[in-house]
Structure 1
């Protein structure tokens, strides 16, 4: 535990940092409401959501729970950056293909992609997926346009008209086909993933400029809660939100903004993709934050992934694989959500090939829950430290340093 000796929680403040997601945070409220009710029915406890209390942040909700005979309340706040995500996704077709070239060079030119492949193939395939799909779409569009141009050229020549006019028609068809693919991306996710990886790669692993001011707001919100009368302040970072949380918490502790006798401070990272950023050459600040946070006694850091999640670096210790683990490293405690064990065979069969849905399973109900239960952690009567005290890390965790770049800021 951090600065508090409390283990029982009656009042908790939860800060959720989402990954690269353009949707309004009400999506997370509705997901929490639906899945909490399902988990409560499966596990035999009570949980209910109410509108957020006054002063509890820009967007959030209140949770009341009775678990294992103990009542607890939690105020959940989403630290929003979806507007920044939407702005980064506003690029047109031509700009997206330019992003493709720059992002591919960022990972291939630095050698990062080859080192990432040695860790987990799933997220590496996810990185190649938008490149392959966008190039395939371009090839199909060009092929269709070329065919139309030739056909029109012959027809125009037979009519005594300039055959070069056919190429104008072909070019228009190329753009029309690419536009149609863009419109269908809600089912394909090629543009979405391309913008996601481009956002991380645009600064070579450094915090993208639009996020700088927002990160300062995140730190201030967490610091304010640490001065209030909560039993626990819990920060949850999902997907790319995990490495945003790492930097926010490292900065708070460095600045002396975590009071010694304040609430217990917990950090839960879920489905992290930290190596996608930390393996890039200009990620010195992130690597320094990882090393610093991993040795601090002010917090408890538990990292949860699952080999069934093809979008995350499952069971990869984000500090160790980045090559910056200090000698006095304490965190994170790396454990597995073990989808094949915590989901029934029927449920696993239904979800197995729904890769994006599985990436959010950490926030959902399990019909055969183990010691990871998102709702017990965020709304239950035990601190994160107490819940996992004495828990051994996963035997299958990966700790070998794999990053070429290990300098820190």
Structure 2
């Protein structure tokens, strides 16, 4: 399950195919990636992967259409919705808790919204300045044109800042989605999660194992999906088909700290308590768009039922890319956010392609890391970074 991304699902297939070639060369593996196929209902994109004799059906569960309907939003909606959202969050004590539990990530989110505020102020200031340059600027109609001019300037600025380095429009709209979903107002997403739950449940008994992977915002959406599956089928994961959940670039506390996210916190507690579903949290302290310093359960005020729940591994950026490449990429926040979905330059480090498609079952790898037989290049902890 991808994060808040409006791009076509074939983008992820292309990324996986490209990185699988690198993984094959670096690890001496034989990897074949089949062509993608969209399902008739539009809910998924499937492709087959064969790696050293192990066949994996990779399914991308789609919600890019829902993202595209929300991003980019019209500037009129942002101008009205953003102040109302932050007033609610501040009044309910969310901002203080968010800063405490997710310090660096909160700086990014708050910082991006401050940049947005600066762009709004600049737009109005520039509009007033331009009106003042008119020869008949003292006439009332001249000043009445200032708001329309400011709106046009702001629209241009938001279009320019959709991409790197700050991704202002993207992160502002992503924040709005997250808290709308916490509040239960994103009806389309709730219906989509129900459909995803049916697709995942249908794989029980038909595969060697089931692995649900949630990247970025899907770290919490994946939890909700699994909770729906378990609510419909309490024996899911207990019939002989191992089930695992893997959160990558997790931002779970981003939503669970919202006082209105009652349903999300309940889902988190139920999935955390279900020993039939293994849980691995892949973390990276260099990823500014994830929350990596705290156990997502304790940060969300949800008690962890057992030690190493979830199992956490921390991946070093030096094992994934070379230093000369890192210098070019480290301020491209979204590129770094996707790095854990790419091949590792070190053949002994965590490698996404080898992890999900290689011969070792994911549930076995999680159990190995949990029991202390650590990956040579990834260390396991109960809470916090190493």
Same fold? TM cut 0.5: yes
Match of residue 363, structure 2, among 359, 376, 385: 385
Residue 102 (structure 1) shift: 2.3
Residue 364 (structure 1) shift: 0.5
Residue 225 (structure 1) shift: 0.7
Hey, what's the Cα distance between the residues in 1 that align with 2:271 and 2:155? Answer: 45
Whether 2:151 is the aligned partner of 1:167: answer no
Pair 87,233 (structure 1): closer, same or farther in 2 beyond 3 Å: same
**Match of residue 20 from structure 2:** 36
**Match of residue 13 from structure 1:** none
Pair 234,93 (structure 1): closer, same or farther in 2 beyond 3 Å: same
Between 1:24-33 and 1:256-265, the stretch displaced more is 256-265
Q: Secondary structure at the residue paired with 2:34?
A: strand
**Match of residue 56 from structure 2:** 74
CA contact (8 A) 2:295 2:382 kept: no
**Match of residue 289 from structure 1:** 267
Q: Secondary structure at the residue paired with 1:186?
A: coil
Show CA shifts across 1:164-219 (max 9, x none): 23214433431221121132133352111111001111254547322111111000
Hey, what's the Cα distance between the residues in 2 that align with 1:97 and 1:380? Answer: 48
Q: Secondary structure at the residue paired with 1:59?
A: strand
Pair 271,203 (structure 1): closer, same or farther in 2 beyond 3 Å: closer
Mapping of residues 73-222 of structure 1, within 5 Å: 73-89=55-71, 91-152=73-134, 155-156=135-136, 163-187=139-163, 188-206=166-184, 208-222=186-200
Pair 262,54 (structure 1): closer, same or farther in 2 beyond 3 Å: farther
Residue 295 (structure 1) shift: 2.3
CA contact (8 A) 1:315 1:336 kept: no
Residue 395 (structure 1) shift: 4.1
Q: Which runs of 5+ in 1 are unaligned?
A: 1-16, 400-409
Hey, what's the Cα distance between the residues in 2 that align with 1:268 and 1:344? Answer: 26
**Match of residue 375 from structure 2:** none
Q: Which runs of 5+ in 2 are unaligned?
A: 373-378
Q: Secondary structure at the residue paired with 2:22?
A: helix
Whether 2:237 is the aligned partner of 1:268: answer no
Whether 2:229 is the aligned partner of 1:252: answer yes
Residue 350 (structure 1) shift: 2.9
TM-score calculated relative to the size of structure 1: 0.84
Match of residue 45, structure 1, among 25, 29, 34: 29
Mapping of residues 293-372 of structure 1, within 5 Å: 293-328=271-306, 331-372=309-350
Please identify runs of 4+ aligned residues in structure 1 that moved more than 6 A.
Answer: 53-57
Q: Tell me which structure has the larger Cα radius of gyration.
A: 1
Hey, what's the Cα distance between the residues in 2 that align with 1:166 and 1:55? Answer: 55
TM-score calculated relative to the size of structure 2: 0.89
Superposition CA RMSD, Å:
2.3
Pair 323,369 (structure 1): closer, same or farther in 2 beyond 3 Å: farther
Whether 2:41 is the aligned partner of 1:61: answer no
CA contact (8 A) 1:300 1:385 kept: yes
Q: Secondary structure at the residue paired with 1:397?
A: coil
Residue 326 (structure 1) shift: 4.3
Q: Secondary structure at the residue paired with 2:171?
A: helix
Count of residues in Structure 1 that have an aligned counterpart in Structure 2: 372
CA contact (8 A) 2:23 2:354 kept: no
Q: Secondary structure at the residue paired with 1:147?
A: helix
Whether 2:223 is the aligned partner of 1:241: answer no
Residue 331 (structure 1) shift: 2.1
Residue 46 (structure 1) shift: 1.7
Residue 95 (structure 1) shift: 0.8
Between 1:198-207 and 1:88-97, the stretch displaced more is 198-207
Pair 205,37 (structure 1): closer, same or farther in 2 beyond 3 Å: farther
